[in-house]
Amino acid sequence: MEKAVGWLWLQQTFGGEIWEHIGKDGDPAEVCERECDNGKGLSPDEVRAMICRAEKMGQQVVCIDDEDYPESLRTLDDAPAVLFCMGDVSIMNSMTAVHMVGTRQPTRYTASLISVLCRELVLRGFAISCGLAEGADALTAEAVLDNGGKLMTVVPAALNGSYPKDRELAERVAKNGLLVSVRPPESKARPDFRRRNRLAVALSGAVIFTQAAADSKGLDNAKQAEKLGRPVLAVPPHLLYAKEYFGQRDLLRNGCIPLFDGGDAVRVMADNGVIADGSHALGNVKGRSAADGAGDKGAAKRSPAKKTPAIDADSSEGRIFAELNNSGELHVDELAAKCGMGMAEVMAALTSLEIDGMVKSLPGRRYVVS
């Protein structure tokens, strides 16, 4: 029996209790054959047909023991055994993602900050994760894709289902990013948004709230982040008494980190060990287990020891560091002009230098040697 058939049969038959029947390094075919003999679940042929339909639709079936399976999910005690994907599956392991949460009715202020923040995070080399609902999600997706970034969306239903309603946007994400689901094609099960939130947060290095009311269902992402040890940041509201931002207000009151620019996200993820010193924002996402603080009981913050790594003087980082060292405080546009680099290259290098503690960002997109 094919491995993928075995894993999907187990996932469809036992759901969240799958790991009570097999270890993550076990032989799914062996367990499947044994349980099938006991008359449980669908037949292997029915499961095989599901996989064939998925592949005909352009979906890639990624199993937990595949190289493309994300390390950040593999450590979960309720990890899905099979993912159905459309797009670039390498994003899950090769890029650090930031999960952004908003509202279906964003204010003009929120719409503006989403555009600016997404552009900066994309330039810094991050992938962005978000839902595809109308409002802030759609604005986030469009801002990321319009700036040439990579977008990752965990879908709470089958990839060929009725969610999201904007199928054109979903197709655009599949072409320029990644759609992920745990549901096989034509699944009639109701969308599971809490499960979607948990997986989206697990795939990301941090969660950012752009707008949330006190009763926002999106606040579940903050609960999932706390369980998984992911830092939560919130954009401070521009009107203290506007009820549209009471969810963020409460998050900030309870110790959530205020976010004023992309540099805040970089520093927080570095302090939490999501991005290691000496790494690049485009480098691997750290798969964190319960042993190092990413289990369901939360995570203690880890502050890596600071060091000054050697820099290749001819590299982008080396040239930018030398220019800041010689010129002092500079605006990012001045840096780009003086170094003869494109903005994306400059921002990616600055992010790497910030993570290493060699430069720091100042208000107004200015930078200086630490």
| DSSP 8-state symbol, 238 | S
Per-residue burial over 102-141, b if 16 or more Cβ lie within 10 Å, else e, is bbeebbebbbebbbebbbbbbbbbbbbbbbbbebbbbbbb
pLDDT at 298: 41
Chain region(s) in the chain for CATH 1.10.10.10: 316-369
Indicate if the pLDDT at residue 257 is higher than 70: yes
Residues forming CATH 3.40.50.450 domain(s) in the chain: 91-292
* Residue percentage of the chain with pLDDT more than 70: 89
In this prediction, residue 37 carries a pLDDT of 67
Model confidence pLDDT, tens digit, residues 258-296? 999 888 888 888 888 776 543 444 444 444 333 343 344
Provide φ and ψ at 269, rounded to 5°: -70, -35
For the residues 300-322, what does the mean pLDDT come to?
A: 65
Matching CATH number, 91-292, of 3.40.50.12780, 3.40.50.450, 3.10.450.30, 3.40.50.1100: 3.40.50.450
Residue with the bigger pLDDT between 306 and 135: it is 135
Q: List 86's β-bridge partners, or say none.
A: 179
Phi, psi of 14, deg, nearest 5:
-105, -10
What average pLDDT does this structure show over 130-148? Answer: 96
User: Residue 320 is which amino acid?
Assistant: I
> Which of these, 310, 229, 321, 233, lies nearest to 277 by C-alpha position?
310
Question: Is the distance from CB of 114 to CB of 210 less than 8 angstroms?
Answer: yes
C-alpha angle 217/242/141, rounded to 5°? 50
Using pLDDT thresholds of 50, 70 and 90, give the confidence band for residue 349: confident
CATH class of residue range 316-369: mainly alpha
How are beta strands 206-209 and 97-101 bridged, if at all?
A: parallel
The model's pLDDT over 12-62, given as tens digits with 9 standing for 90+, comes to: 988 888 998 888 888 888 888 777 766 567 888 899 999 999 999 999 999
pLDDT tops 70 at residue 120: yes
